[in-house]
Chains A and B, each alone.
Chain A
Amino acid sequence: MTYLIAQALVIVLALAGLPLFLVLGALALLGYVSSGQNLELFYAANIRPVATNPIFLAIPLFTLAGYLMAESGTPNRIVRLSRAAVGWMPGGLAIVALVACAVFTAFTGASGVTIVALGGLLMPALLKDGYPERFTLGLLTTGGSRGLLFPPSLPLIVYAMIAGLAMEGASQWREEAPSPATEARSPAERPARGEVEKALDDEMDRLLDDDGDQPNAEDAEDLGVDIEAEVAAMRSAAGAGSPALSGDEGAVPGPAAGTGAVPGRTAPTQVSVDRLFVAGALPGAFALLLVALYSVFVGVRHRVPRAPFAWPELGRALWASAWEVPIPLIIVVGIYGGFFTAMDAAAIVAAYVFIVEVLIYRDIPPGQLPRIFRESMVLVGGILLILMSALALTNYFIDREVPQRLFALIRDSITSPFMFLLILNVFLLIVGCLMDIFSAILVVVPIITPIALHYGIDPVHLGIVFLTNLEMGFSTPPVGVNLFVGSLAFRRPVVVLYRAALPYLALSLVALLAITYWPDLSLFLVRLTGVQ
């Protein structure tokens, strides 16, 4: 009871503005103390992965690359190049703004840098060309989060880490740091585990035919669930696994668990940064296409004059940004082509961008470097700290079987994956309005991912749905953070931006529904490239 009150108090403090890394850390700490676990294990679960898992290196390196580009002449050169390439189209400059924002957000995360770095540059140009002010404000404000689905977006990396841990953490935690609770679950002597065990029994009853035969694919089709994955997860949850189903595989339905899956769905894939980078490409392009079509419509309707296409200008613009054009190519060709991992790409891009912007273009005087290092690493420090706390909290959730308990509560009322996804969409829209993207991923993903697996939803697809939802939340009134940054950057009342963002939110909603209910849009490229 005392612990419950303490946890409630921490949540109230969180809403009052206590730094999130302390909130998550305190919740995990209270959890460990209440279950009588060793606090040094808490530290180990918290800190050690950062120093031993190479994936964490990608966070400071990509962020630094993004900040260096934002501070250099890159925004100018990107705009000039894309204007020379597509400025002749109806709605050309708006499409330029769209693409430039997407590229920039992919590099800097939805940190507001895009709006500040590109907004000031593009706003006067768009207005001068004759685009309506409301259209322009909405385009640039919502552009602050538009490239989140493209590599090397930081939220994609963070999602991959947390979802991967949520799927695998249970087994890892049990191996590395056996808790009193898990130690008690020896194969010979397993105490009844109340709700979860009962849930397992119910589940087995549900999966067996009336005449008591074994679960089969037909049953799965009737129930709309992945039998093996579900039984394995439930068994693992109750600690009653047979040798074939217990342990590591139990908590994480791997590719082999696909037999009897929901029709039209494939076996869940493992989450990795590389896979998410590949999966985000088509959905991201689809969402951009919708806004591009809207821009063309506005361009034609308002008779915005078009710039004539000129090869010489395209050549000059290309020459001016000759050193920067390869940067997205390093990532796209490198990762999609399977030449190197996201971590290698991060190291190469950071080193390359530093050399190009500081030594070749000399846009950034060396005296400015300490300020840029500090600015970018304050963001990185904040993210890494909450990641560490979130890892500990995720381990606690898994250890206490929180997702399984939640699933046991909701599975009678939410029976199909489609219904689950619809409710998830609404829930995440609300979360996306209230929290920033990292908080949302760190708090919600550890609980939702294991439940989504029960509904046969691919975790990679789920990640794309998550980020599309949160991307939309960024621009959703009343508290979407883009709206505040835009209000500051463009010196307009935030209420004006609420109205300006509405048409874009409608388009985002269309994209969100397509991405949510058409899993192949996200998974097609993953299967095609076979990236691990």
Chain B
Amino acid sequence: MARFLGAVDRGVARVETGALVGVVALLLVVVGAQVVLKWCGAGGQWSEMLGRWLVLWVGFLGGAVASHQGRHITIDVFSRFATGRTRRVLGVVINAVGAVLSLLLLKISWSYLGQKVEDGAVAFSVGGVDIPEWWMASVVPAGLALMAWHLAVQAVLSGASGVGGDKASGRDAGGGE
């Protein structure tokens, strides 16, 4: 069961990593084009707005990958001194609570998104075509759902083997090392 869950979790992470890489590439193209256009005195309003919304996508997709890798920024004082069983219990509790909190935030963002669908709020316009705000903001509930999934899987895996507990406890704000 744990093995199956782990495999599904890695599959999900692969898809979201692909999406993240695609969004970053798009962001680079958009801001690069924006710089050139601005230089020529023809900076497009929509490309600037698209660039800003893509930051939200980077944030939530990057956050989802960080959840999978146990690389969220944490304060984490206890688990530094915890070992063995205590560490495993901490891993289960922290990841489970994290999953529940992510679901709670998901619920709030979902109802907000519904309101935006009703309002017909516009994020920006491209050549006279309005891009609805909920399209661009849909990454928020999606990202939170992915985070909740990864944290829940890690809670289960922590309980089963302690691997997730080790992952979740690192003070790994760096990411590069």
Partner of B80, one of A108, A373, A381, A479: A479
B163 part of interface (Cβ distance < 8 Å): no
Cα separation A14 to B175 with both chains bound (whole Å):
20
A111 part of interface (Cβ distance < 8 Å): yes
Which residues on the B side are within 8 Å of A13 (C-beta)?
93-94, 97
Say whether chain B's binding surface is mostly helix, strand, loop, or mixed.
Answer: helix
Cα separation A382 to B78 with both chains bound (whole Å):
21
Given A18-B98, A22-B102, A377-B24; A438-B55 close (CB under 8 Å)? no
Instruction: Map CB proximity to A onto B89-104 as digits: 1 under 8 Å, 0 otherwise.
Output: 0100110011001101
Chain B contacts with A in 34-76, Cβ cutoff 8 A:
34-35, 38, 48, 51-53, 55-56, 58-67, 69, 71-76
- Taking a contact as CB atoms under 8 Å apart, the answer to whether B21 and A373 are in contact is yes
- Taking a contact as CB atoms under 8 Å apart, the answer to whether A16 and B78 are in contact is yes
Min CB distance, A390 to chain B, in Å? 11
Given A43-B109, A43-B112, A436-B173; A19-B73 close (CB under 8 Å)? yes
Which residues on the A side are within 8 Å of B72 (C-beta)?
19-21, 382, 385
Min CB distance, B53 to chain A, in Å? 5
- Taking a contact as CB atoms under 8 Å apart, the answer to whether A378 and B75 are in contact is no
- Taking a contact as CB atoms under 8 Å apart, the answer to whether A438 and B73 are in contact is yes
B115 part of interface (Cβ distance < 8 Å): yes
Which residues on the B side are within 8 Å of A356 (C-beta)?
none
Cα separation A35 to B121 with both chains bound (whole Å):
28
Residue of B nearest to A29 (CB): B104
Given A29-B104, A47-B140; A370-B176 close (CB under 8 Å)? no
Partner of A376, one of B51, B60, B175: B175
Residue of B nearest to A54 (CB): B52
- Taking a contact as CB atoms under 8 Å apart, the answer to whether B174 and A351 are in contact is no
Given A25-B101, A378-B71; A18-B176 close (CB under 8 Å)? no
Residue of B nearest to A347 (CB): B31
B137 part of interface (Cβ distance < 8 Å): yes
- Taking a contact as CB atoms under 8 Å apart, the answer to whether B31 and A435 are in contact is no
Given A17-B79, A47-B137, A111-B173; A384-B55 close (CB under 8 Å)? yes
Cα separation A503 to B13 with both chains bound (whole Å):
44
- Taking a contact as CB atoms under 8 Å apart, the answer to whether B62 and A384 are in contact is yes
A307 part of interface (Cβ distance < 8 Å): no
Q: Identify the A interface with B (CB < 8 A).
A: 13-23, 25-26, 29, 39-40, 42-44, 47, 50-54, 56-57, 59-61, 64, 67, 70, 108, 111-113, 115-117, 344, 347-348, 350-351, 354, 369-370, 373-386, 388, 434-436, 438-439, 479, 481, 484-485, 488-489
Q: Apart from A16-B79, A22-B105, A377-B58, list 5 A-B contacts with CB within 8 A.
A: A113-B176, A348-B35, A377-B20, A378-B65, A382-B175
What are 26 A-B pairs with beta-carbon distances under 8 A? A15-B75, A15-B77, A17-B78, A18-B74, A20-B75, A22-B105, A42-B108, A43-B112, A51-B123, A56-B52, A60-B24, A61-B31, A70-B176, A111-B175, A113-B174, A350-B28, A350-B31, A378-B62, A381-B64, A382-B72, A385-B59, A436-B73, A436-B171, A438-B73, A488-B177, A489-B177
